[in-house]
Amino acid sequence: MTRPRILSLADLKPQDMAQQLQNDYEVVRDIAAAADVEAVVTAGNVGLSSQQMRQLPALRLIAVNGVGVDAVDLDEAARRGIAVTTTPDVLSLAVAEMALALALAAGRQIAEGDRFVRAGDWGRGGKLGLASSVLERRAGILGYGRIGRRLADMLRGLGMQVSYTARREKSDTPDRFFPDALSLAGDCELLFVTAAGGSETRNLVDADVLAALGPQGIVVNVARGPVVNAVALADALRSGAIAGAGLDVFDDEPNVPQALLDAPNCVLTPHIGSATVQARRAMAQLVLDNLSAHFAGKPLLTPYEV
Ligand code: NAP
């Protein structure tokens, strides 16, 4: 039986899931050779532009291996009736765990302490200053969707007081709602950014929000780089307007602005929020299941709905 041809712009992981894709489909990697494909596999941060869609006249399905759709031209997909699927929920624990890890790393000088030991400064009699407890701070979550709410559950379980903002207040939560990022930042010292990316959330965390967070404040961004203004963040770290930051996502990955590389107490990771074996396997399975459903003419498992 001939296998359907698909275009893959992102690798599934772990390796056995990539192998499964190869077994089930004829996988094309060059878009110039993919004019006949009905389905494309892409990643959240890779997406699919309208220009790429124009090269794919037979396209019926964009299967995103992730939940961020800010890099997919959704208007163009809707105009052409191309379905989009994502991998919701199965990565929420991994990303929430990463957010907590970044908060602890920035708040408890873990990355700085590691550099200090390796550089031999400890052996030479040096000392790090005192940190401020992370779990005794009030937490604010900007973007209270699947990842934000998973994180809120974790933080509450650790005894933290949690507040949040989102487009709409939620009725089914013990956490306190604030109407915007500024009022949320004024009430917390640990600001977690878990909102969707895109034009609506660009620069939601700006110099005013950082000033409201205050000199004990820590910002953690596991959402999308542009949600936090990188210039304002680097300034705030340098001037002491906030105490620290933990960043997994950036405006122009894999390039990280020098100002953030140079900023004090800024812990940086290379967009690995969902990069656990468990999450990536479950994400890949959903991609494979959505592809199978499409080619069998069955309903998609996790269609993205605006
Ligand atoms: P989700 O369930 O769709 O949640 C998105 C949240 O963002 C919702 O609470 C939504 O508010 C909020 N939001 C949207 N526009 C907003 C605005 N203008 N102001 C305030 N809040 C706004 O998505 P999710 O599964 O939690 O994922 C969230 C994001 O995490 C993804 O979009 C992706 O960019 C990022 N992500 C990163 C990694 C990583 O590796 N670091 C991995 C996976 C995902 P409402 O609830 O009111 O609609």
**Helix, strand, coil % over all residues of the chain, rounded to 5:** 40, 15, 45
Residue 31 has pLDDT above 80, yes or no: yes
Rounded to whole angstroms, the Cα distance separating 7 from 85 reads 15
Does the annotation count 271 as an active-site position?
Answer: yes
Fold annotation for 5-89+277-295: Rossmann fold (3.40.50)
The per-residue pLDDT for range 241-251, each reduced to its tens digit, is 999 999 999 99
**Distance, C-alpha 295 to centroid of its chain:** 29
Q: Is residue 82 within 8 Å of residue 69, measured between CB atoms?
A: no
Considering the candidates 26, 136, 200, 253, report the single residue annotated as catalytic. 253
Rounded to whole angstroms, the Cα distance separating 98 from 81 reads 35
Please state the rounded mean pLDDT for residues 6-13. 98
Please state the rounded mean pLDDT for residues 80-95. 98
Confidence of residue 197 (pLDDT cuts 50, 70, 90): very high
Mean pLDDT of the chain: 97
Architecture of domain 92-268: 3-Layer(aba) Sandwich (3.40)
Confidence of residue 234 (pLDDT cuts 50, 70, 90): very high
> Which one-letter amino acid corresponds to residue 187?
D
Cα angle value 153/223/240 (rounded, 5°): 95
Calculate how far, in angstroms, residue 211's C-alpha sits from the geometric centre of ligand 1. Answer: 23
pLDDT value, residue 158: 98
pLDDT value, residue 1: 74
Please state the rounded mean pLDDT for residues 96-100. 98
Cross-strand pairs, 220: 192, 246
Please state the rounded mean pLDDT for residues 78-91. 98
Residues of the chain with CATH 3.40.50.720: 5-89+277-295, 92-268
Calculate how far, in angstroms, residue 197's C-alpha sits from the geometric centre of ligand 1. Answer: 7
pTM of the full structure: 0.97
pLDDT value, residue 284: 98
User: Hey, what are 119's tokens?
Assistant: 């550089």
- Burial label for 230, CB within 10 Å (0-12, 13-18, 19+), is buried
Considering the candidates 146, 150, 271, 280, report the single residue annotated as catalytic. 271
Residues lining ligand 1, Cβ inside 6 A? 44, 66-68, 88, 91, 95, 143-148, 165-168, 194-197, 200-201, 222-224, 248-249, 271, 273-274
Confidence of residue 306 (pLDDT cuts 50, 70, 90): confident
Considering the candidates 224, 238, 280, 305, report the single residue annotated as catalytic. 224
Neighbouring C-alpha atoms within 13 Å toward the C-beta of 175? 33
